[in-house]
Amino acid sequence: MSGPVEGGPTVRRIVLGHQLRRLRESRALTREAAGDAVDGSGSKISRMELGRVRFKEQDVRALLRFYGVDEREHEGLLAMARNANEPGWWHRYGELVPSWFQNYVGLEEAATRIQTYEVRIVPGLLQTEEYAWWVVRQGLPEADDAEVRRRVRLRMARQEALPEQTRVWAVVDEAALHRVVGDRAVMRRQLEHLVQLWEANRVTFQVVPFAAGNYSAEHAFTLLRFAEPALPDIVYMEYLNGSLYLDKRSEVELYTKVTHQLAVEARTPQDSCELLRELSSRA
């Protein structure tokens, strides 16, 4: 049994699910058998073990009783179940955070290392407020200014919630630095902001130059790494109305190789910073 779990409710749900799966498998029980113990199904147990649902304390209690768990461990897991159901800070943004994105926000603030590759724009964690405003405005032309401001505030809150010890490594296609978002003044301040983040040692930033030709990755993705042993590395990708989470070892290893290859194809961090300074001076 691990010690207290750091991070928000998303992390606690995933860790609790991992513990429940470990208990079930150690007793050679099927998901279907566990489902019967909570008047549910094998698919319900699967969702619980993946940490993708809110935990009902009575379900956790029934499973622990079914697994014959020691009383001391029993109480610790029940406490984790109660804590896992506490709303995250993003809960106050309501409908602006779709269910498929809530898990990512929770995982993002728990990650010790975030490796991201972006093709079209500067990654959200590195955007200035005014740059983010124009990104949201262009993406949601039908939204009123109040909704745009709330969405931008959510993006800024994600940046603020990121622990100082979290390391961010961003590789960005050079096209994203030339594509004007807002106007030239907005772009100049965004480029200057990236230089400041690099100089403050908060971000490792690399630019894949046009001359690189064919890149190792054709689409944006983020690789999240965690200190918590129960959390596997996760690859996250978004599409128009949803997202994809990959955590199988073979999939994560593939994207890990891609991140290494992108680092080779990209300018060095120092050269990338020099390019940012050059572009900002011309903006």
pLDDT along the chain (283 residues), means of 10: 52 80 91 93 90 85 90 76 73 73 80 93 96 93 90 92 90 95 95 94 92 76 84 84 83 94 93 95 85
Residue 143's H or E segment, with its range, is: none
Please name each of the domains of the chain with its CATH number.
9-84 (1.10.260.40), 95-282 (3.30.870)
Residue 164: predicted pLDDT: 86
Residue 277: predicted pLDDT: 96
CA distances from 125 to 158, 203, 274 (A): 7, 10, 21
Estimate the crossing angle of helix 99-110 against helix 145-161, to 10 degrees. Answer: 30
Residue 153: predicted pLDDT: 93
Q: What are phi and psi of 227, to 5 degrees?
A: -80, -30
In whole angstroms, what is the distance from residue 277 CA to residue 283 CA? 10
Residue 223: predicted pLDDT: 95
Residue 273: predicted pLDDT: 95
Q: Give, as one character, the DSSP assignment of residue 165.
A: T
Residue carrying structure tokens 């109040």: 146
| Residues across the chain | 283
Per-residue HEC secondary structure of 21-35 comes to HHHHHHCCCCHHHHH
CB 148 within 8 A of CB 136: yes
In whole angstroms, what is the distance from residue 54 CA to residue 274 CA? 47
Collapse the DSSP code of 12 into the 3-class scheme (helix H, G, I; strand E, B; otherwise coil) and give the result: helix
Pick the closest to residue 234 from 219, 249, 218 (CA basis): 249
Residue 118: predicted pLDDT: 95
Residue 214: predicted pLDDT: 65
Residue 137: predicted pLDDT: 93
Q: Give, as one character, the DSSP assignment of residue 277.
A: H
CB 175 within 8 A of CB 279: no
Residue 88: predicted pLDDT: 72
Residue 8: predicted pLDDT: 63
What's at 127, amino acid-wise? Q
The whole-model pTM stands at: 0.77
